[in-house]
Structure 1
């Protein structure tokens, strides 16, 4: 037998001495396709046209494919989702915008401790998925997370086009919703209504107008309170809309409308607003939703 054949043969993917030397002396980046700066490339091109916000897109929105996303920390934590602040900009230019990235929790987390009432009427045509969602299996919880994300993005798009004061919905990627950041250019989030004491007359008028617009469309926020209303430069902005309710189709629709009215009117009344009356607001909303004569 030839001498060289006595050596152990290399596997077809084995490295020879030259390969090993190159790897040891050459700086190889951890990720070959990563951005030159920031945490990830912009995800703008990962969303289909129907997964992007209404046209025309705002001028402030960065849509260039060369843009990168940079994480700046958590704005808000919750049982169902966390909201992160990110900047999306084109390196080497002044093209940059701030976005709020709402990320619904993955399947190993407990999702929507009060979701049963909201999920009414959101059954799919897939019986296996319906059973998984009802039994809260890992697959079912992930499906619920996807449903909530899609429901919220769709609601934001619809309300934006109706002129309801909501953040502009930028895009949805899986269970992440990117939307307009409501706050200062240096990244300070706008306060919740619960933290505000000035300008309440104007804020009450804005809120009633927005709720009337929703009711005329047969909708209720479903979980409205002073904690999911932001105030920015005197403007009221409604957030947290995954549980938006069709008050006509949902069997308990009117009760959601009444609860929204009670939550916000009670708060304004406690602040001394003279016309904030829960029953009066609920009656108005039921009338606008054509639930009463």
Structure 2
């Protein structure tokens, strides 16, 4: 062990005299239990150092249920990575819209928690925010391991999900709804959307709220986001209805951009995929 005015070193860890400043915090990675970290093997870009600092760089997206922030996680004088931090709100906002459609069949073990969720008390709303964050992390982890084009989920901590940032520099990738492209590119994007829906269906899932607003296009590749409400097509009584709505939403956009598609036909193919697994 060596000592100095600025730091002392122990194996694999440097404790710096520098403390996090405004809009900064120590990396929360060390305090996260292994089951709340992303699927292994971790991508090489994931920063796991206990000496790393998280710096908040601004808001990427504001929503009714959650806000998404741009975070830089950096080792002092070392590696750094940009992450998207999705933070679900607690008692100050309403629960996830139409949440009962998606959560049918989900249960909480503690009767106190169940009552709080039903009454939408302050505690219940905070609990709900944590449940939605956990649901999104779990869904991202499952879909990532299935090979679906989703951001890699780095970790979940209470009401915050940290995930791979999709974009160039500090600029987030555009949503499909904002894309203007030639017919050949649009046709390729359509093929990618159909394939990602097939990946979901083969595993028995529907996105449940799919639209051109939660599909990102980055470097020619479609990525799907906002997945906490993912539904099981078989066990959820409204699963097929939600799948059909997904098909209608994406087909409507592509039809307006010159791609021939039939939402009913697509839904039928996806249902067959789900029940044939």
On whether the aligned pair clears a TM of 0.5, the verdict is yes
Give the corresponding residue for 2:14. none
Give secondary structure in 2 for the equivalent of 1:289: helix
Which structure would you say has the larger Rg?
Answer: 1
Runs of 4+ in 1 over 6 A off after TM superposition: none
Long gaps (5+) in structure 2: 1-16
Do the aligned residues in 2 keep the contact of 1:266 with 1:277 (CA within 8 Å)? no
Do the aligned residues in 1 keep the contact of 2:175 with 2:214 (CA within 8 Å)? yes
Select the residue among 197, 204, 221 that pairs with 1:211: 197
Select the residue among 181, 192, 195 that pairs with 2:175: 192
Q: In 2 relative to 1, CA 191–42 (structure 1 residues): closer, same or farther, beyond 3 Å?
A: same
Give secondary structure in 1 for the equivalent of 2:172: coil
| TM-align CA RMSD | 1.7
Select the residue among 56, 78, 82 that pairs with 1:98: 82
Select the residue among 148, 154, 158 that pairs with 1:170: 154
Do the aligned residues in 1 keep the contact of 2:90 with 2:128 (CA within 8 Å)? no
Partners of 2:209 and 2:21 in 1: CA distance = 42
Give the corresponding residue for 2:137. 153
Count of paired positions: 258
Deviation (angstroms), 1:173: 0.7
Structure 2 residue 63 is matched with structure 1 residue 81: no
Give secondary structure in 1 for the equivalent of 2:43: coil
Long gaps (5+) in structure 1: 1-31
Select the residue among 230, 235, 247 that pairs with 2:221: 235
Do the aligned residues in 1 keep the contact of 2:167 with 2:218 (CA within 8 Å)? yes
* 1:19-98 pair list within 5 angstroms: 34-35=19-20, 39-93=24-78, 95-98=79-82
Give the corresponding residue for 2:263. 278
Select the residue among 212, 216, 227 that pairs with 1:226: 212
Structure 2 residue 125 is matched with structure 1 residue 138: no
Q: In 2 relative to 1, CA 258–144 (structure 1 residues): closer, same or farther, beyond 3 Å?
A: same
Do the aligned residues in 1 keep the contact of 2:38 with 2:152 (CA within 8 Å)? yes
Do the aligned residues in 2 keep the contact of 1:38 with 1:68 (CA within 8 Å)? no
